Amino acid sequence: MARWGMVIDLERCTGCQACTTACQLENTRLPGEHWQDVLFYNEGEYPSGKLSWLPRPCMHCENPSCVAVCPTRATYKTEDGVVLVNWDRCIGCRYCMIACPYGVRFYAEEKQKTQPDVRKVWPSDEGKIWNPPWAMPKHRQDMKRGIGVQPKNVVSKCTFCYHRVSQAPKGTPDLDPNDPKTRDFTPACVVTCAPNARWFGDLDNPNSKVRKLIAEKRGVRLNDQTGNRPQVYYLAGEAAAIPETRSVRRKEG
Amino acid sequence: MNISTTTTGRLALLDLESKPTPLNATLMLLGGIVGAISFAIVFWMLATEGHASFNTSSDVAWGAPIAYYLFFLLASSGLSIIASLDTVFGVKVFYPIAKRCVWLSIITLVTGFTLLALELGHPFRMLWAMPTGLQIKSPMWWMGVLYSIDFVLLLMKFYRLHQGDWESRHTHHLSVASFVICILAPGTLGLVFGMMAMRPAWYSPVMPMYFILTGFATATAFMLFIGSLAPRGTDTSPEMRLLNDEVLPRLFFLAVLAVVAMRFGQILTGLWSNYEGMEANWRALRHPLFYVELLGYMTALVLAAKTDWRASPGLQFVASVIFMIAMFSARLELLIVGQEVPLFKGYWAGYTNYWPSFTEWMLVPLGMGMFLFLYGAGDWLLRLNEARAPALQRR
């Protein structure tokens, strides 16, 4: 069984947010609800100020704290290493959102950040949060895996586009968007990445590109001190660096 | 408050023949009206807007309703501990209020869980998804299990006391089990927060102790408040006088003192640390809730420090209400501080800015109304002034 993981090369990433947009459309997310986001950081001041960015999907941790805290087992990890939410079991307690060190979980029952409120523009009569005009076909939607247009009052998160990835032939080491045989099985954010900054493959397969990149280019995981052991690795290379990811910095003195 | 004693016979569950005292009628009327109006408002907002009528978001997942339910649930455990001082440890001076404490513990638990149900996305799904999920790694799962057991044990204990069975071995075993659970349940609730290493402002092995202690302190304030409502002139029993004028106020003073000492340690640790997430403690110093908490604790301490002040029903009322407001603020402050620094939202996001919405605030009168109504009804129909007799001679 594969153990899917992602590698993101910060040397190549331009912070264009195409991944964010592709994810929004693929997974019918609400505006501002970014399962896949690009975070921006600035350090220092003019003339030596520095702007950096960090693409951030769900880390699909090896040891996910969100799974451990979920009192109903609505959040679970699949055999191929993907963390999913069973929307039919979720009670909307949001403990997983508290416990996720990477802030990648969302609860759509909030005041909308953008207007008009698309939930009211395209209301659902099927108990869903909305009825988007571009939803994926119903036969691909899967409530037990948190895929598709979500019901009300449940938590949602990046699925590594499990509706695509789970269809890949067994034993595939890499899901390469440039290979026509695997393109349809590759997560939307990887497919759309213009500078080819993302790779997706089997972390346990010694022949996979992701594994080689992690070994050869010294892939690192974020916040490894939490013990969650993300399955998303970052390559900094020579021209980039992992930004200092503090959300706020206290001024000294 | 007169002590009537009941030692034998199976008694009717509800004392429908008695008439409510003016105090009972006032509490039920006030609680019923306030509770019904606020429930109607909350229900309407949830029906039309859903949880979008709350100010919670994907950055601030837990809002004020969680703080409210913490307040009531922890008070419930504290009240159960006070009841156990008599029924488990045989501290006879607490006999006159043991049954009342058990009832208060039950209704604060019911109120807390009602508020929680209004906060959850799918409260009814919880009833089957938690038992079938059996996620024993989750402190929240354990919290649900323990508080459910707590509720059942409290009902059983109250029923036995209501039947006049204070002395039997069964009642004693039931009381011991109830005491163990009323320590474990708030402790586990403390773990729900204290285990979260990714939320440094909450992460602490001391959190369970803090929850148990603050719950106990809140319970002493509840008892002082209830005691101060009863007209003293009608109460001639030396036991109640000893309890209301000396024991409870002293216990209240000590509990508040312990809470202040613990909070002092928490705040200093928070301000000293440079670990990410702890910046929230500096921000908390500029938050009005912190000063409500601080001033509330200090005022309550001063009012309970002097012997003749703490024996005065008027000042007891003031001190207990002020302390409850302070503790209520502390619960809300805890929720806000723990989520003040967002996790992985980029440097541009800055601090989160959360303040409860109108709908969230409406849950406060809803909870208080429900509590007052249930207490008034219990005091009227359930003979809460019963005690094992003769109490003082057994000291």
Residue of B nearest to A117 (CA): B52
User: How many residues make up chain B in this entry?
Assistant: 395
pLDDT at B386: 80
DSSP label at B246?
A: I
Task: Kindly list the residues from chain A whose CB atom is less than 8 angstroms away from the CB atom of residue B54.
Answer: 109-110
Amino acid at site A94: R
How many Å apart are CA A138 and CA A147, to the nearest integer?
Answer: 10
Q: A105-107 and A155-157 as β-strands: parallel, antiparallel, unpaired?
A: antiparallel
Contact B347 A41 (CB under 8 A): yes
pLDDT of residue B103: 96
| Chain A interface, best mutation among B46, B51, B58, B203, by max A CB count within 10 A | B58
Q: Are B122 and A53 in contact (CB under 8 A)?
A: no
Q: Sort out which chain A residues have CB atoms less than 8 A from B342's CB and list them.
A: 103, 247
For residue A93, the distance in angstroms to the closest alpha carbon of chain B comes to 5
| Residue A77 contacts B, CB cutoff 8 Å | no
Return the number of other C-beta atoms located less than 10 Å from residue B381's C-beta: 17
Mean pLDDT to the nearest integer, B358-365: 97
pLDDT at B324: 97
Contact criterion met (CB < 8 Å) for B52 and A109: yes
Sign of CA dihedral B224, B226, B231, B235: negative
Distance CA B355, CA B294 (A): 19
The answer to whether A92 and A107 have CB atoms below 8 angstroms apart is yes
Encode B209-230: b = buried (16+ Cβ within 10 Å), e = exposed.
ebbbbbbbbbbbbbbbbbbbbb
> CB–CB of B135 and A245 under 8 A?
no
Type of residue at A156: S
Q: For residue B295, what are the CA distances in angstroms to B180, B299, B302, B327?
A: 34, 6, 10, 11
- ipTM of the predicted structure? 0.92
pTM above 0.95, yes or no: no
Per-residue burial over B240-254, b if 16 or more Cβ lie within 10 Å, else e, is beebbbebbbebbbe
Residue type, A50: K
Q: In the prediction, which pLDDT does B167 show?
A: 85
- A242 CB near a chain B CB, below 8 Å? no
State the CB neighbour count (10 A cutoff) for residue B197: 16
CA B96 remoteness from chain centre: 20
A4-9 and B386-387 strand pairing: unpaired
Tokens of B334: 């805890």
Residues of B in contact with A111 (CB under 8 A): 52, 55, 57
Q: Which residues from chain B sit within 8 angstroms of residue A103, using beta carbons?
A: 58-59, 342-345
Contacts B56 to A, Cβ<8 Å: 94, 107, 110
The helix/strand/coil state of B284 is: helix
Q: Count of alpha carbons within 13 Å of A242, Cβ hemisphere only?
A: 14
Residue B5's H or E segment, with its range, is: strand B4-5
Task: With a cut of 60, say whether residue B1 has pLDDT above it.
Answer: no
- Please give the DSSP secondary-structure letter assigned to residue B168: S
Q: Is A224 on the interface with B (CB under 8 A)?
A: no
The tokens for B35 are 């509770």
* pLDDT on residue B3: 43
Selected for mutation to probe chain B from A91, A119, A155 (highest B CB count within 10 Å) is A91
Measure B193 CA to nearest chain A CA, in Å.
Answer: 9
- Shortest alpha-carbon distance between residue A171 and chain B (Å): 32
Give the tokens for residue B189.
């609730």
Q: Please, which residues have CB within 8 angstroms of residue B149's CB and are 6 or more apart in sequence?
A: B181, B185
B343 and A41 in contact by Cβ < 8 A? no
CB B28 within 8 A of CB B36: no
Pairing of strands A75-77, B386-387: unpaired
Yes or no: say if B349 and B342 are a contact pair by the CB < 8 Å rule.
yes
Q: Which residues contact B231 (CB under 8 A, 6 or more apart)?
A: B23
Q: Decide: A114 and B148 in contact? Cβ < 8 Å.
A: no
Chain A interface, best mutation among B45, B135, B146, B189, by max A CB count within 10 A: B135
Q: Decide if A110 and B341 are in contact by the 8 Å CB cutoff.
A: no
Q: Is A245 on the interface with B (CB under 8 A)?
A: yes
Contact A4, A139 (CB under 8 A): no
Instruction: Give the model's pLDDT for residue B234.
Output: 57
Taking CA–CA distances from B349, the nearest residue in chain A reads: A247
Residue B316 CA, chain-centre distance (Å), reads 18
CA dist., res. B387 & res. B166, Å (int): 8
A:B CB pairs within 8 Å: 160
CB-CB neighbours of B265 under 10 Å: 12
- A80: nearest Cα among A149, A17, A19, A164: A164
Whether B101 shows a pLDDT value over 80: the answer reads: yes
Chain A nearest C-alpha distance from B164 (Å): 39
Which of B54, B132, B341 is the closest to A248 by Cβ? B341
**Tens of pLDDT along B6-44?**
444 445 688 878 888 999 999 999 999 999 999 999 999
Closest Cβ–Cβ partner in B135, B276, B343 for A103: B343
DSSP secondary structure string, chain A? ---EEEEEETTT-----HHHHHHHHHHTPPTT--SSEEEEEEES-TTS-EEEEEEE-----SS-HHHHH-TTS-EEE-TTS-EEE-TTT-----HHHHH-TT--EEE--S--SSSS-HHHHS--SSSBS---TTPPPGGG-BGGGTBSSPBTT-EEE--SSHHHHTTSPTT--B--TTSTTTGGGS-HHHHH-TT--EEEEETT-TT-HHHHHHHHTT-B-TTGGGS---SEEEE-TTT-------S--PPP-
Cβ separation A91–B342 shorter than 8 A: no
A91 part of contact set with chain B, CB < 8 Å: yes
Q: Which residues on neighbouring strands pair with residue A234, listed in sequence order?
A: A8, A220
Paired strand residues for A142: A147
Q: What is the pLDDT of residues B302-347, one digit of tens each?
A: 999 998 899 898 999 999 999 999 999 999 999 999 999 988 888 8
Residue owning tokens 């009012």: B303
Q: pLDDT > 90: what percent of chain B? A: 73
Q: By 3-state DSSP, what share of chain B in percent is helix, strand and coil, each rounded to 5?
A: 75, 0, 25
**What distances in angstroms separate CA B129 from CA A71, A82, A85, B274, B290, one per listed residue?**
8, 22, 13, 40, 38
Compare all CA atoms of chain A with the CA of B279 and give the residue at the minimum distance: A250
Asked if the model's pLDDT at residue B274 lies above 90, the reply is no
Closest CA to B361 of B394, B328, B320: B328
Is the Cβ–Cβ distance between A158 and A35 less than 8 Å? yes
Distance from CA of A181 to the nearest CA of B (A): 35
- Residue A77: both structure tokens together: 């990890």
Mean pLDDT of successive 10-residue stretches along chain A, which has 253 residues: 95 96 95 93 86 94 97 97 97 97 93 88 92 90 96 97 96 95 97 96 96 95 92 89 76 49
Among chain B residues, the shortest Cα distance to A69 is held by B138
Q: Is it true that the peptide bond before A116 is cis, omega within 30 degrees of 0?
A: yes
Per-residue confidence (pLDDT) for residue B350, from 0 to 100: 84
Chain B contact set for A59 (CB, 8 A):
none
Give residue for tokens 């979260």. B196
In this predicted structure, what is the pLDDT of residue B229?
A: 82
The pLDDT tens digits for B363-394 are: 999 999 999 999 999 999 998 888 776 544 44
